[in-house]
Each structure stands twice: as structure tokens, then as C-alpha cells.
């Protein structure tokens, strides 16, 4: 259900880079991927383009794709957790009225 709601509202979400870093990034490599994607804007970058910009890490486009998917999943889990807490808070408020 939350996935459907988020899909409908995805154009209205605008998250700061620092929030996403705290939630999704586990190391400096993830932070570097995020920084490059944030700089690219809505047009984004392909993994092979990112690999060229991340030569110092000696990583393949496949590894970049896997890292990006992991960050997306971690962000989604965090958003769902926040949403559940907010729904529970609303339920407590309604019960007290």
C-alpha cells in the first residue's frame, strides 16, 4: 500500500543530499556515487558513466548498479518506517479525541 502511495507522490518528494547520505550510504564510495548523481540532476548518469568518474575506486558498472540498488532499498525501508510511525501517531491522536 505504501509503495502505491509513494509512487503517486514521487514527483512531490524532494530530499536533501545530507538526509539521503545518513539513511542510505554505508561508506565513502556510496557517498561519492550519491554526490555525482545529485550533481547530474534529474537526467542522472548511467553506471558506465559513473565508473569513468570513479576511476580511483576501480569498480565495475555492475558493482555501481548493485550499490545504487542497495541505497534505493535502504531509503525505501527508512521511508516506510517513518510512514508507519506517523500513521501510528495519527492513530493515537484520533483515539485520544
Q: What tens digit of pLDDT does each residue of 39-61 get?
A: 998 889 999 999 999 999 899 99
Alpha-carbon span 84 to 48, nearest angstrom = 37
Rounded to two decimals, the pTM is 0.67
- Indicate if the pLDDT at residue 17 is higher than 70: no
Q: Angle formed by the axes of helices 61-96 and 2-9, to 10°?
A: 110
Alpha-carbon span 87 to 2, nearest angstrom = 11
Give the model's pLDDT for residue 86: 67
Amino acid at each position: 500500500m505504501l509503495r502505491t502511495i509513494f509512487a503517486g507522490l514521487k514527483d512531490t518528494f524532494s530530499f536533501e543530499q545530507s538526509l539521503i547520505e545518513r539513511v542510505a550510504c554505508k561508506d565513502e564510495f556510496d557517498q561519492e556515487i550519491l554526490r555525482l548523481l545529485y550533481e547530474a540532476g534529474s537526467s542522472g548518469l548511467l553506471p558506465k558513466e559513473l565508473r569513468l568518474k570513479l576511476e580511483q575506486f576501480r569498480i565495475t558498472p555492475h558493482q555501481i548498479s548493485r550499490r545504487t540498488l542497495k541505497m534505493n532499498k535502504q531509503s525505501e525501508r527508512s521511508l516506510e518506517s517513518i510512514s508507519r510511525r506517523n500513521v501510528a501517531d495519527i492513530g493515537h491522536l484520533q483515539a485520544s479525541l
